[in-house]
C-alpha cells in the first residue's frame, strides 16, 4: 500500500507540466489525508529524493536519487514478463537465495529481486561475490522455462547477451564474454552470472538468473584477491552510470531475449554469444576439477559446453575456469 502511494506521487510529479503538485491535489488523487501525504513526502526525502515545498504552489521534485526503487523501475519497464514484478531490498544475504526461496514458495515467473547490497553474495563454484552498497547492481530473475533440465544452462548465455547489449546501450564500450559466465571490458571482469535451478529428473521447477555487475565501484574499492582482474563500467568510461537507467534497460533486454528464446530456442542465443567471444580459435588454458587442459577454443555446443581442441582430440567441458594460454 505504502509503495503504491509513493509510486502515485512520483507519477504525479512526472506528469505535471509546471513540476508543482499541491498537497491538496495529492491528497485528493490518493484519497488520503494531508498528514499522510506529508509522511510520504518525508519518506521520499529520506530515500534521497530532493523535493522542495513552495508556499501556495506546492511540492516540486528537484532531483531523483540513484536508488533502485521498485516503483521507479516498474514505471520504466516495458516488458511482458521480466520486470513486471520487482522486489527491491536495501540489504539481503543474496538475491539468488531470495529468488530461489520465492520460487519454491510458488512466486510467478518474471519476478525480479534486486538488492542495494548483499552480505553473502554468491559466485560460481562456491565463491563469494563482494557486493558493496550504493554502487553496483545485484539482481536475480525467477523463470519457469518449459525445457528439460539439461537445456537450462543455455539461459546463462541469455543473461550474458542481455548484459553485453545493455553495456552497449549505455556506452561506447565493447564488451566481451568469457565462458561460461563472465563479461569482460578490455580483458577485465565487469560482470558475473550465476544461474541456479530447482528441478526434477525431467522437469524444471524454476531457474534463477543471478547477475552481478560492477557499475560505479572505483578502482581503489575493487577487491584485490580475485582470480581474474576486475573493473567497472565507470572505471572504463570515466563517468558514473545511472543504476536506475542501466537496470531499466537490462530488464527490457532480458525480457525481449527471453520472449525470443521461448519461440526460437537456445541456438540463436549461443550464436549471438559466440560473436562476443574473442577467445574462439585462440589457445586457452582451462582449470577444471583436478586438471588443467591446454588447447584451442573450438566453440560451444548446443548445451553450452566448452569445446577445446587438444592433441588428444576435442574435449567437452562442462565446468571450469578459462584463461588465454600463457605464451
Ligand atoms: C561469478 O562470476 O562467479 C558469478 C557472480 C554472480 C553474482 C550475482 S550478484 C546477484 C546474484 N546474487 C548472488 O548471490 N549472486 C548473483
Q: Which residue intervals of 171-303 are DSSP H helices?
A: 233-237, 243-264, 267-274
Partners of 143 in the β-ladder: 207
Q: Are residues 156 and 300 in the same domain?
A: no
CATH number at residue 302: 2.30.30.100
Mean pLDDT of 19-32: 92
The whole-number pLDDT of residue 276 equals 97
Ligand 1 shell residues, CB under 6 Å: 94-96, 118, 121-124, 127, 129, 138-140, 181, 192-194, 210-212
Q: Grid coordinates representing 175?
A: 564488451
The whole-number pLDDT of residue 232 equals 95
Distance CA 267, CA 318 (A): 17
Instruction: Read off the pTM.
Output: 0.84
Last residue of a domain, one of 10, 45, 63: 63
Q: Are residues 59 and 131 in the same domain?
A: no
In the reported structure, the alpha carbon of residue 180 is separated from the centroid of ligand 1 by a whole-number distance in angstroms of: 13
Q: Are residues 239 and 140 in the same domain?
A: yes
Task: Using DSSP bridges, classify how beta strands 188-200 and 306-310 pair: parallel, antiparallel or unpaired.
Answer: unpaired
The whole-number pLDDT of residue 1 equals 41
Of 131-135, 139-143, 295-299, give the lowest mean pLDDT range.
Answer: 131-135
Longest dimension (CA), the chain: 82
Last residue of a domain, one of 63, 87, 107: 63
Of 72-76, 177-181, 268-272, 286-290, give the lowest mean pLDDT range.
Answer: 72-76
In the reported structure, the alpha carbon of residue 184 is separated from the centroid of ligand 1 by a whole-number distance in angstroms of: 15
Mean pLDDT of 120-135: 92
On the CB side of 279, CA atoms within 13 Å amount to 28
> 63 pLDDT band (50/70/90 cuts)?
confident
Specify the 3-state DSSP secondary structure of 132.
coil
Q: Which atom of ligand 1 is nearest to the CA of 118?
A: 14
- % of the chain exceeding 90 in pLDDT: 72
Tens of pLDDT, residues 76-112: 777 789 988 999 998 999 999 999 999 999 999 999 9
Q: Are residues 152 and 42 in the same domain?
A: no
In the reported structure, the alpha carbon of residue 147 is separated from the centroid of ligand 1 by a whole-number distance in angstroms of: 23
> 3 pLDDT band (50/70/90 cuts)?
low
Does residue 15 surpass a pLDDT of 60? yes
Q: Which atom of ligand 1 is nearest to the CA of 182?
A: 2
Q: Are residues 57 and 171 in the same domain?
A: no
Does residue 307 surpass a pLDDT of 50? yes
Give the mutation target among 92, 95, 129, 229 for probing the ligand 1 site: most ligand atoms within 8 A of CB.
Answer: 129
The whole-number pLDDT of residue 155 equals 96
Mean pLDDT of 163-185: 96
Q: Which atom of ligand 1 is nearest to the CA of 131?
A: 9
The whole-number pLDDT of residue 289 equals 80
Q: Are residues 40 and 87 in the same domain?
A: no
Mean pLDDT of 274-298: 93
Does residue 184 surpass a pLDDT of 70? yes
On the CB side of 296, CA atoms within 13 Å amount to 7
On the CB side of 323, CA atoms within 13 Å amount to 11
Task: For the chain, count helices (H), then strands (E).
Answer: 9, 15
Report how far Cα 236 is from the mean position of its chain's Cα atoms: 19
Q: Are residues 13 and 104 in the same domain?
A: no
CATH number at residue 27: 1.10.10.10
Mean pLDDT of 223-246: 88
Distance CA 260, CA 273 (A): 15
Last residue of a domain, one of 63, 87, 114: 63
Q: Which atom of ligand 1 is nearest to the CA of 121?
A: 14
The whole-number pLDDT of residue 210 equals 98
Q: Are residues 173 and 105 in the same domain?
A: yes
Task: Find cell 516540486 and name the residue.
Answer: 60
Q: Are residues 115 and 53 in the same domain?
A: no
Q: How many domains does the chain have?
A: 3
CATH number at residue 98: 3.30.930.10
Q: Which atom of ligand 1 is nearest to the CA of 96?
A: 12
Supply the range of the domain harboring residue 293. 283-324
Q: Are residues 126 and 241 in the same domain?
A: yes
Give the mutation target among 120, 184, 194 for probing the ligand 1 site: most ligand atoms within 8 A of CB.
Answer: 194
Q: Are residues 38 and 120 in the same domain?
A: no
Specify the 3-state DSSP secondary structure of 133.
coil
What one-character-per-residue DSSP string does 105-123 give?
A: TTPPTT-EEEEEEESS-B-
The whole-number pLDDT of residue 178 equals 95
Q: Are residues 253 and 300 in the same domain?
A: no
| Mean pLDDT over the full length of the chain | 91
Amino acid at each position: 500500500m505504502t509503495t503504491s502511494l509513493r509510486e502515485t506521487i512520483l507519477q504525479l510529479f512526472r506528469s505535471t507540466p509546471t513540476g508543482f503538485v499541491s498537497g491538496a491535489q495529492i491528497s485528493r488523487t490518493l484519497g488520503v489525508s494531508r498528514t499522510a501525504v506529508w509522511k510520504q513526502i518525508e519518506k521520499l526525502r529520506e530515500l534521497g529524493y530532493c523535493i522542495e515545498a513552495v508556499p501556495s504552489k506546492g511540492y516540486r521534485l528537484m532531483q531523483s536519487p540513484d536508488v533502485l526503487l521498485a516503483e521507479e523501475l516498474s514505471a520504466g519497464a516495458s516488458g511482458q514478463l521480466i520486470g513486471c514484478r520487482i522486489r527491491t531490498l536495501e540489504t539481503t544475504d543474496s538475491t539468488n537465495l531470495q529468488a530461489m526461496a520465492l520460487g519454491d514458495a510458488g512466486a510467478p515467473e518474471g519476478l525480479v529481486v534486486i538488492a542495494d547490497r548483499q552480505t553473502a553474495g554468491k559466485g560460481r563454484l562456491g565463491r563469494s561475490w563482494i557486493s558493496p552498497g550504493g554502487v553496483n547492481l545485484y539482481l536475480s530473475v525467477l523463470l519457469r522455462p518449459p525445457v528439460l533440465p539439461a537445456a537450462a544452462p543455455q539461459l546463462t548465455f541469455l543473461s550474458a547477451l542481455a548484459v553485453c547489449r545493455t553495456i552497449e546501450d549505455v556506452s561506447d564500450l565493447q564488451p566481451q564474454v568469457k565462458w561460461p559466465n563472465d563479461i569482460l571490458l578490455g580483458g577485465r571482469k565487469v560482470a558475473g552470472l550465476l544461474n541456479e535451478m530447482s528441478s526434477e529428473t525431467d522437469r524444471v521447477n524454476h531457474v534463477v538468473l543471478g547477475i552481478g555487475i560492477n557499475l560505479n565501484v572505483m578502482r581503489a574499492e575493487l577487491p584485490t584477491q580475485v582470480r581474474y582482474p576486475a573493473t567497472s563500467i565507470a572505471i572504463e568510461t570515466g563517468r558514473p552510470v545511472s543504476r536506475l537507467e542501466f537496470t531499466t534497460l537490462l530488464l527490457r533486454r532480458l525480457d525481449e531475449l527471453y520472449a525470443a528464446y521461448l519461440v526460437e530456442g537456445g541456438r540463436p542465443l549461443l550464436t549471438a554469444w559466440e560473436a562476443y567471444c574473442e577467445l574462439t580459435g585462440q589457445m586457452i588454458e582451462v582449470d577444471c576439477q583436478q586438471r588443467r587442459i591446454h588447447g584451442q577454443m573450438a566453440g560451444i555446443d548446443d548445451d553450452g559446453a566448452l569445446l577445446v581442441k587438444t592433441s588428444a582430440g576435442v574435449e567437452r567441458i562442462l565446468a571450469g575456469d578459462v584463461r588465454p594460454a600463457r605464451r
